Amino acid sequence: DQQVKQNSPSLSVQEGRISILNCDYTNSMFDYFLWYKKYPAEGPTFLISISSIKDKNEDGRFTVFLNKSAKHLSLHIVPSQPGDSAVYFCAASDSGNTPLVFGKGTRLSVIA
Amino acid sequence: GAVVSQHPSWVICKSGTSVKIECRSLDFQATTMFWYRQFPKQSLMLMATSNEGSKATYEQGVEKDKFLINHASLTLSTLTVTSAHPEDSSFYICSAISSYNQPQHFGDGTRLSIL
């Protein structure tokens, strides 16, 4: 039973446009959500997080939106750059330092 | 930012060999470290949680005698794959966390290939 789902395995976006990566979760106990970016043969790099008391968190070109009632979060990257091409993992936990539950990832390709 | 170093990055060895992977937090003290495994095109799967000075907590289905975890200090955790076999070939990644509600920071992973 997958508690964190990223239903799009891949996404292609043109450079300069907005990339929207989606993530759904089933466990209502989750209260801390993160997005990680991963290049091949490297570990995931933390991008941005959001706690359940907020519905939006912004950091530069990256914004994460959380819709608790729909158990849905999304990562917006604008403007998208070729260097953003990577696999993006959504992760969740039910408190700050418990193990994360990861989605399967979405491969983003930003085309110049 | 927080840096986690994982070593070695790539190991190729014969079946039956034991392999030790190190995970170090370089610029912070890690109260908790996690070990994950990733198969191709799959998500990161948690193997175990390790707190400094105590026994690791293993996820269901992970053999604790096969995957030995030691977290002897606040900056170092090791994973030893004992008597490795080809089915243990995978990408192993560690992460570390300094305190509550801080993001986990990951090492670059170790690709283990057992011949």
Residue A37 distance to chain B (closest CA, Å): 11
Could you list the pLDDT tens digit for every one of the 115 residues in chain B?
568 999 999 999 999 999 999 999 998 888 889 999 988 777 888 999 998 888 899 999 999 999 999 988 889 999 999 999 999 999 999 999 887 667 888 999 999 999 9
Could you list the pLDDT tens digit for every one of the 112 residues in chain A?
689 999 999 999 999 999 999 999 999 999 999 999 998 878 888 999 999 999 999 999 999 999 999 999 999 999 999 999 999 999 998 875 567 889 999 999 999 9
Report how far residue B11's alpha carbon sits from residue B84's, in angstroms, rounded to the nearest whole number: 11
- Residue A44: asked if its preceding bond is cis (omega within 30°), the reply is no
Contact A100 B104 (CB under 8 A): yes
Chain B residues touching chain A at CB-CB below 8 Å: 4, 6, 9, 31-32, 34, 41-46, 49, 59, 93, 95, 97, 99-109, 111
Q: Which residues of A touch B110 (CB under 8 A)?
A: none
Closest Cβ opposite residue B102 in set A41, A96, A100: A96
Q: What pLDDT, in 10s, does the model give residues A12-40? A: 999 999 999 999 999 999 999 999 999 88
Q: Which of A3, A52, A1, A51 is nearest to A26 (CA)?
A: A3
Q: What is the DSSP string of A26-89?
A: --TT--EEEEEEE-TTS--EEEEEEETT-SEEEETTEEEEEETTTTEEEEEESS--GGG-EEEE
- Give the C-alpha distances (Å, rounded to integers) separating B30 from A63, A64, A76, B20, B100: 28, 26, 30, 19, 11
Q: Which residues of B touch A45 (CB under 8 A)?
A: 106
List, in sequence order, every residue forming a beta bridge with B12; answer none if it has no partner: B113
Suggest the residue from B23, B28, B34, B44 to mutate for an interface test with chain A (most A CBs closer than 10 A).
B44
List, in sequence order, every residue forming a beta bridge with A104; answer none if it has no partner: none
